[in-house]
């Protein structure tokens, strides 16, 4: 039925018009002016960034500027910031003719998203109802970057198939949905999710997948020659992987409590990431004839342990438990690229350019449920009485909540993130299906020339690798070449 509808739409709608000379500047100017107005009305410095800091120090018996939260949080903020702009950006440069779009549109999404996130998260978490103002500080900047990450993950599923105007719409709704589901999960359900397995990765992954499913392109094979990588594009994407891999401990520990919680989160993430690398390399080598490695797996599945460790990073999961999580996620994510992505495209008509299901959606869901199990198993003997209070915030109205109950709420939070991602993504996908956004035609995807001024290449590089199935085609090319030599 879906294919029939697509055929009818193609018959009654005119050819795609990718000229965004009016729509893109209009969206950028209008929305940026709206941000200026809204910031003027609502946003103010918090007590630690305001010029009255010296008075605050005196009234709270603070003796040194070093106790300002800036000096504690800013190193983590910088690490997270690099992940958002460099790590995610370069990870998306694997396509042979879409590096400008991978890095440039990532830049656009993050720059707009962090502004909108400061407002949306501020209205839910930092609004002073007596003054009607939102106070922001360095921790607000970290949370805004986290919020942007959900939309950047969704972009991975849509890479090369949508216009920059559509990406702005994806970010507008993505940040809004993120703020709502984050409020439900963290405030109403009182879940713990320091590294965002649930609220960031699970939501962002399923949000992007739902949009991609609605925007299914039955003739995308017409751009098949560009839906792949070349040697140098995979090298650039690997740079993004390495930045993400190195800074992921900061990502998962950035907003945890001072002291042992942050320390433990960094250690657990570090170990899970290391374990993911070895299992990814093992499965990738086993899956190819001759034991050769597939760069697609190395670029992506090696990060799955960091994704899955997000929720339980600050829990007492133990060092060997972290290794187990990374071990399993490396296997699951690599098998996802080998089998799940082709299955989703063939049978569910879901075209996932970057394979976000295997790196973010499923590992994020797995991380959420792992956190639920670890929380439910928490005991005073392992955490100490004060440790349970500190890690799970068993204070105030939650003072009598048991670890078992907390585990149940953690699982419920994971389900909420999945529901928000799928339902919200489907609605946004229907909005983006309206033929007014300047998206490319099926035979014009994955090409920077559609939306960028691209300099001419000094030399022509023939296609070498094709994404996901590139090794198969490479072997075919080699066999054909050998056949011709033998004949001669």
Average pLDDT per consecutive 10 residues, the chain (488 residues; last block may be shorter): 49 73 98 98 97 94 93 96 98 97 98 98 95 97 98 98 98 98 98 97 98 97 95 97 98 94 97 98 95 97 98 97 98 98 96 98 98 97 95 95 98 98 98 96 96 80 52 46 41
What pLDDT, on a 0 to 100 scale, did the predictor assign at position 11? 47
Q: Which sign, positive or negative, has the C-alpha torsion 112, 118, 123, 127?
A: negative
Would residue 217 be called left, alpha or beta, if left means φ above 0 and alpha means ψ between -120 and 50 degrees?
beta
H-helix or E-strand spanning residue 326:
helix 319-335
Return the DSSP state at 221: G
Q: DSSP class of residue 183?
A: I
Q: Please tell me the predicted confidence (pLDDT) of residue 456.
A: 80
The pLDDT score that the predictor gives to residue 258 is 87
Residue 485's pLDDT is what?
A: 41
Helix (H) or strand (E) holding 64: none
The pLDDT value recorded for residue 262 is 96
If one counts every other C-beta atom within 10 angstroms of the C-beta of residue 130, the result is 6
What are the distances in angstroms from CA 59 to CA 47, 55, 56, 131, 212? 12, 6, 5, 21, 54
pLDDT at residue 460, as a whole number: 54
Close Cβ partners of 54 (under 8 Å, ≥ 6 residues apart): none
């Amino acid at each position: 039925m879906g294919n029939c509808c697509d055929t009818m739409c193609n018959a009654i709608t005119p050819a795609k018009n990718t000229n965004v000379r009016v729509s893109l500047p209009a969206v950028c100017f209008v929305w940026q002016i709206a941000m200026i107005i809204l910031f003027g009305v609502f946003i103010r410095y918090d007590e630690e960034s305001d010029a009255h800091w010296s008075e605050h120090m005196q009234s709270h018996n603070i003796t040194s500027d070093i106790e300002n939260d800036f000096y504690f949080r800013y190193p983590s903020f910088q690490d997270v910031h690099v992940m958002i702009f460099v790590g995610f950006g370069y990870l998306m440069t694997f396509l042979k003719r879409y590096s400008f779009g991978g890095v440039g549109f990532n830049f656009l999404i993050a720059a707009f998203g962090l502004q909108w996130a400061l407002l949306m998260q501020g209205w839910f978490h930092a609004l002073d109802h007596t003054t009607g103002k939102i106070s922001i500080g360095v921790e607000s900047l970290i949370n805004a970057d986290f919020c942007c990450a959900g939309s950047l993950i969704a972009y991975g599923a849509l890479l090369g198939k949508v216009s920059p105007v559509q990406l702005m719409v994806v970010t507008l709704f993505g940040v809004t949905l993120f703020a709502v589901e984050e409020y439900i999960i963290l405030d109403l359900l009182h879940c713990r999710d320091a590294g965002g397995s649930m609220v960031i990765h699970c939501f962002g992954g399923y949000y992007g997948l739902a949009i991609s499913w609605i925007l299914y392109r039955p003739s995308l094979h017409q751009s098949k020659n560009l839906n792949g990588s070349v040697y140098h594009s995979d090298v650039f994407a690997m740079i993004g992987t390495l930045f993400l891999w190195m800074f992921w401990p900061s990502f998962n520990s950035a907003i945890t409590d001072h002291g042992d919680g942050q320390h433990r989160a960094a250690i657990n993430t570090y170990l899970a990431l290391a374990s993911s690398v070895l299992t990814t390399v093992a499965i990738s080598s086993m899956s190819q004839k001759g034991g050769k490695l597939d760069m697609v797996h190395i670029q992506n599945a090696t990060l799955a342990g960091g994704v899955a460790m997000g929720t339980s990073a600050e829990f007492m999961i133990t060092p060997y438990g972290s290794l187990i999580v990374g071990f399993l996620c490396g296997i699951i994510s690599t098998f996802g690229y080998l089998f799940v992505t082709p299955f989703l495209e063939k049978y569910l008509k879901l075209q996932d350019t970057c394979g976000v299901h295997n790196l973010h959606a499923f590992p994020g869901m797995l991380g959420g449920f792992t956190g639920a199990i670890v929380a439910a198993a928490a005991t005073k003997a392992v955490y100490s009485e004060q440790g349970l209070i500190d890690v799970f915030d068993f204070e105030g109205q939650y003072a009598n909540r048991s670890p078992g109950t907390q585990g149940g709420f953690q699982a419920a939070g994971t389900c909420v993130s999945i529901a928000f991602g799928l339902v919200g993504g489907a609605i946004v996908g229907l909005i983006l299906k309206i033929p007014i956004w300047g998206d490319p035609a099926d035979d014009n995807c994955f090409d920077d020339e559609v939306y960028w001024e691209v300099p001419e290449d000094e030399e022509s590089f023939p296609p070498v690798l094709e994404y996901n199935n590139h090794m198969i085609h490479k072997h075919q090319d080699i066999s054909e070449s050998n056949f011709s030599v033998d004949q001669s």
